Structures are given as C-alpha cells and as structure tokens.
C-alpha cells in the first residue's frame, strides 16, 4: 500500500472547510452556541457549589454542658469530641461568654439579666462538622450522638434552618447534575445532528469519491479531521464568548452584590483551567463523534 501522509488529510479537511464556507460557518456557530449553553451552566454550577460550600461552613452544633463540670473534665470532653470522625472544629464558650453574648442577642435583655442573682446560662461547645457530614441527616445524627455524651445536657443546631438549607443544597446539586447531564446529551445531539446535516450536503461528493476507488478510510479521515476542527473552533468560540460575558457582565453585577452574599469574600470565578481543557477536548471529541456517526450511511455505494 502506498504511504499517505497525515498532512494530506489535514490539508484536505481545511480545503473542505474552505470549499463549504456556508455550511461550515453554520456548523461552527451551532456548536459554539450549544457549548456556550453547556459551559455557562458549568460555570454557574461550579460557582454555586463554591457559594454553597461557603454557606455550609456556617452550619454548627451547639452543645450545652452540665453545670459544675471541672476544667479537666471539660478539656477531656473537648478532646474526645474533637477526635470524633466527623468533627472538624470545636470551640469552648464558658458561662460568662454565654451570658454576655446572650445580653447582646436580644434587646432589652440586659434588664432581665440585671435582676439575676446567678448566671443561669450553661457553658457550651460550638462544633463545626467536617465537609462530608453536613447533610441534614448527618447533622441530626451527630447532634443526637453528641447529646448522649456524659456531661452534655443538650445539643442544638437550628433544626429548621439547617434542614431547609441542607435540603436546598441537596436539591440544587441534584438538579444541577440532572440539568448538566441533560445539557450534555442535548449538546451531543445538536452537534452531531448539525454535523450530520453538513455531511448530508456533501452526500454526492462522498459517493463520487467512492466510485473513483477511494477507500472508506480515505473518505472518512478528512471528515473526521474536519469534525474535530469544527468542534475545536466551536468550543473555543464558546469559551471566548463566555469569558467576554464574564468580564463585561458577571463581574460587574457580582461586585455590586457579592459583599452582602456571604460573611467571607466570595468571588465569582471563571471556569478552571482543567475544565477549559475538558471543554475543548469535549468539542473535538464531539466533532469527531458527529462525523463518525454521520458518515456510515453515505458510504454504501
């Protein structure tokens, strides 16, 4: 067999693109838009995730302690709790601190407290759980377990809010994954079908080339390369568009609202470099896939 250089097929693919500017522009445009939808979603989803993670940070369990525990006992308790698998952080709050923060928390409280002859507020631990243990069920279970520890009077964790919040998180993530999977499939569908149409416009050319003695490989290779190039161009365009939108729009909006969103600082970020790479490779793979499934039916002569 005669050796045929790869550069020949690359040139052929570029020729094809040049010879069919109309269909190629449309294909690349449609691929770009599909990927723009998908990568916009990726960006929103990853930012939403970071934001939720920040908020999750703040879920904590308060552990009210029995009165009259000795300092050693408290130290031992603290060590014991911290050594539990899902506890990340623990902070001790003594009776005085509890009272003073209590005074601040409800207006008019100082009047009430003034009249007290002794401090009725218990000392407590503030406990932050590990990332992986922040679902409502796990917080609940952890609180229950903690409350049975000897020396612990009660465990409190803002039941209602935590429940609602962590459920929202779970839903948001689930919905996000479902939407992501759906968008991915939609992108694959749209891109591969668009490529199918572009191949279809060249049905005759394919048939003639085959009648002149071309092997399937000879016919396919330029189309595969063309598909890869279309996919690359489309996904690169989508990233460029998204980045532009991110610069001129999202940053502006976010800077005006982010301050109030979280206690810490939260910066809406662009897609990470690995994600960008995935998107580009995804574009190429999809272009290749699109050409691949399109060509079969036209190589029957």
Which helix (DSSP H) or strand (DSSP E) does residue 291 occupy? helix 273-295
- Measured distance CA(218)–CA(66) in Å, rounded: 82
Are 65 and 123 in contact, with CB atoms under 8 Å apart? Answer: yes
If one asks whether residue 19 binds other proteins (CB under 8 A), the answer comes out as yes
Question: Among other proteins, a copy of itself, none, what binds residue 281 when CB lies within 5 to 8 Å by partner kind?
Answer: none
Token representation of residue 94: 């003594």
Q: Taking a C-beta distance cutoff of 8 angstroms, is the pair 202, 24 a contact? A: no
Q: CA-CA distance, 232 to 283, in Å (whole number)? A: 5
Between 252 and 300, name the residue whose CB sits nearer to other proteins. 300
Residue closer to other proteins (CB basis): 91 or 203: 203
| Binding of other proteins by 66 (CB under 8 A) | no
Question: Which residues lie closer than 8 Å to 299 by C-beta, 6 or more apart?
Answer: 206, 210, 216, 219, 220
Among 92, 102, 218, 243, binds other proteins (CB under 8 A): 218
How open is the CA angle 230-286-235, to the nearest 5 degrees? 50
200 binds other proteins (CB under 8 A): no
Q: Does 10 bind other proteins (CB under 8 A)?
A: no
The correct pick among 106, 211, 248, 257 for binding other proteins (CB under 8 A) is 211
User: Which CB, 3 or 106, lies closer to other proteins?
Assistant: 3
Which one of other proteins, a copy of itself, none is in contact with 179 (Cβ closer than 5 to 8 A by kind)? a copy of itself
How many CB atoms are located within 10 Å of the residue 157 CB? 21
**By the criterion CB under 8 A, which residues form the site for a copy of itself?**
22-23, 26, 29-30, 33-34, 36-37, 40, 44, 64, 106-109, 111-112, 115-118, 120-122, 136, 153-154, 156, 163-164, 167-168, 170-171, 174-175, 178-179, 182-183, 186, 189-190, 193-194, 196-198, 200-201, 249, 253, 257, 260-262
As measured in angstroms, the least distance from the Cβ of 232 to a copy of itself is: 19
Member of 76, 109, 141, 208 binding other proteins (CB under 8 A) = 208
Using CB distances below 5 to 8 A depending on partner kind, what does residue 4 bind out of a copy of itself, other proteins, none?
other proteins
Identified binder of other proteins from the candidate list 85, 106, 111, 212, rule CB under 8 A: 212
Q: Candidates 1-9, 143-151, 175-183, 228-236: pick the segment binding other proteins (CB under 8 A).
A: 1-9
CB of 54 to other proteins, least distance (A): 56
CB 290 within 8 A of CB 227: yes
Q: By the 8 A CB rule, do 156 and 142 touch?
A: no
Of 5, 11, 14, 42, the C-alpha closest to 282 is: 42
Considering only the stretches 50-58, 182-190, 208-216, 280-288, report the one whose residues sit in contact with other proteins under the rule CB under 8 A: 208-216
Single residue of 205, 243, 266, 275 touching other proteins by CB under 8 A: 205
Q: CA of 11: how far to CAs of 15, 65, 201, 217, 229, in Å?
A: 6, 77, 20, 15, 12
Percent helix, strand, coil in the chain (nearest 5)? 70, 10, 20
């Amino acid at each position: 067999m005669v050796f045929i250089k790869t550069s020949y097929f690359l040139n052929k693919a570029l020729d094809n693109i040049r010879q069919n500017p109309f269909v190629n522009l449309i294909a690349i445009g449609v691929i770009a838009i599909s990927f723009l939808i998908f990568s916009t979603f990726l960006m929103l989803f990853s930012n939403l995730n970071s934001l939720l993670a920040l908020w999750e940070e703040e879920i904590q369990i308060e552990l009210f302690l029995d009165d009259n525990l000795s300092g050693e006992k408290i130290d031992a308790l603290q060590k014991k709790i911290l050594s539990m698998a899902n506890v990340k952080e623990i902070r001790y709050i003594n009776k005085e601190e509890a009272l003073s923060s209590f005074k601040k928390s409800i207006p008019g409280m100082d009047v009430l407290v003034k009249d007290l002859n002794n401090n009725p507020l218990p000392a407590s631990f503030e406990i932050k759980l590990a990332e992986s243990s922040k679902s409502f069920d796990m917080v609940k279970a952890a609180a229950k377990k903690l409350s049975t520890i000897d020396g612990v009077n009660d465990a409190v964790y803002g039941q209602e809010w935590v429940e609602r919040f962590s459920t929202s998180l779970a839903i948001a993530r689930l919905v996000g994954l479902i939407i992501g999977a759906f968008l991915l499939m939609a992108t694959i569908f749209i891109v591969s079908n668009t490529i199918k149409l572009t191949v279809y416009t060249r049905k005759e050319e394919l048939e003639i080339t085959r009648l002149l003695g071309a092997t399937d490989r000879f016919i396919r290779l330029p189309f595969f390369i063309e598909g890869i190039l279309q996919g690359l161009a489309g996904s690169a365009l989508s990233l460029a568009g998204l980045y532009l939108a991110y610069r001129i729009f999202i940053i502006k909006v976010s800077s005006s609202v982010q301050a109030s969103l979280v206690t810490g600082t939260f910066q809406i970020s662009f897609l990470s470099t690995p994600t960008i790479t995935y998107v580009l490779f995804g574009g190429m793979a999809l272009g290749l896939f699109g050409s691949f499934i399109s060509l079969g039916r036209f190589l029957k002569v």
